[in-house]
Amino acid sequence: MFLAACSGKKDELPYVERPVEQIYSEASNAIDNRNYTKAALLFDEVERQHPYSQWAVRAQLMAAYSHYQALRYDDAITTLDRFIALHPGNRNAAYAFYLKALCNYERISDVRRDQGTTYEALKNLQEVVRRFPSSPYARDARLKIDLTRDHLAGKDMEVGRFYLATGEYMGAIKRFRRVVDEYQATSHVPEALHRLVESYLALGIREEAQANAALLGHNYPGSVWYQDTYALMNRSERGEKPSLFQRAVDWLF
C-alpha cells in the first residue's frame, strides 16, 4: 500500500477504511523502524479517517514529530501550527511550541549565509519560555536562546569585519555597536569593542575610540582584545596610523 502511494498522489495514502487502532499501531511501528516518512503518512491517515476520535489529536502531533525526524521541517511546522490553532489548551501544547522552535533551530546556517531562520528560531524559543516558563522545554529553550544570540552576534561581527576591511567604517560601526548593545552576554562583545576603537580611530573620532577602549578595559581587563586595544591607543598617541585593513582581512580569510 505504501509503495502504491508513492507512485500515486503525493503525500497521501489511498483511502482504505480501517479501524483507528490498526492505523495508529502501524504508524507507531513505522517510527520504531525509523521509517518517518511512512509514519507521517499513516498518522495523517488517522486524522483523515477518524477526525473526531481521541486518536486524531495525538496523531496530528505525532505526524509533526515524524516530519521533524524525516528533516521535513516545513511540513512539521505546518502541522504544528494547525495543532496549536486547533488545540491551544492541549496538555502537549508546550511540546508543540518547542518542536516548532527546534525545526528552525536545527536549520541555523553558517554565519556567512542569510540568518532569517536564526531570527525565527530565536522568536520561537522565546515564545516557549514566555508561555511555558516552568516546563522542561523552557529550560532547554533558554540554553538554545543563548547559543542563537551568540550566532546572530557572530553574523554581525562577520559583516562588520568586512565593512572594516573595505573602509566602510560607518557600516562597520553600526554592526559592532549592535553586538555591544543587543548581545551583551555573548562572547563577541570584547572584539566588538576593539573593532569600534579601530573604526573610530580610522575616522579620526578619537573621543569615541577612547570611550570604547575604556569600556573594554573596565569590563574585560584580562581580554586579549583589551591588550590589542591598549597597544592600538598607544600607537595612536604617538601619531602612528593603525593598519586596520590588513588586520580585518586576516579575520575574513
- Tell me the average pLDDT across 18-46: 92
**Predicted confidence (pLDDT) at residue 245 exceeds the cutoff of 50:** no
* Residue closest to 108 by CA, chosen among 80, 149, 78, 75: 149
- Quote the pLDDT of residue 64: 97
- Tell me the average pLDDT across 219-223: 93
Contact 59, 49 (CB under 8 A): no
Contact 12, 44 (CB under 8 A): yes
**Predicted confidence (pLDDT) at residue 103 exceeds the cutoff of 80:** yes
**Predicted confidence (pLDDT) at residue 249 exceeds the cutoff of 70:** no
How many other C-beta atoms can be found within 10 angstroms of the C-beta atom of residue 114? 9
Residue carrying C-alpha cell 591598549? 230
- Quote the pLDDT of residue 63: 96
- Quote the pLDDT of residue 148: 94
Integer Cα distance of 181 and 142 in angstroms: 20
Integer Cα distance of 51 and 20 in angstroms: 10
Residue 34, C-alpha cell as written in the block: 525509523
Residue 185, C-alpha cell as written in the block: 552576554
Contact 113, 154 (CB under 8 A): no
pLDDT tens for 51-67 read 888 899 999 999 999 99
Residues 6+ apart with CB under 8 A from 235: 242
Question: Helices 206-219 and 224-237, interaxial angle, to 10°?
Answer: 150
* Residue closest to 184 by CA, chosen among 218, 160, 219: 219
**Predicted confidence (pLDDT) at residue 246 exceeds the cutoff of 80:** no
Integer Cα distance of 72 and 91 in angstroms: 25
Helix (H) or strand (E) holding 64: helix 54-69
**Predicted confidence (pLDDT) at residue 244 exceeds the cutoff of 80:** no
Q: What is the mean pLDDT of the chain?
A: 88
- Tell me the average pLDDT across 158-180: 96
Contact 13, 2 (CB under 8 A): yes
- Quote the pLDDT of residue 165: 93
pLDDT tens for 124-149 read 999 999 999 999 999 999 999 999 99
The 8-class DSSP code of residue 76 comes to: H
The CATH architecture assigned to 20-148 reads Alpha Horseshoe (1.25)
How many other C-beta atoms can be found within 10 angstroms of the C-beta atom of residue 116? 11
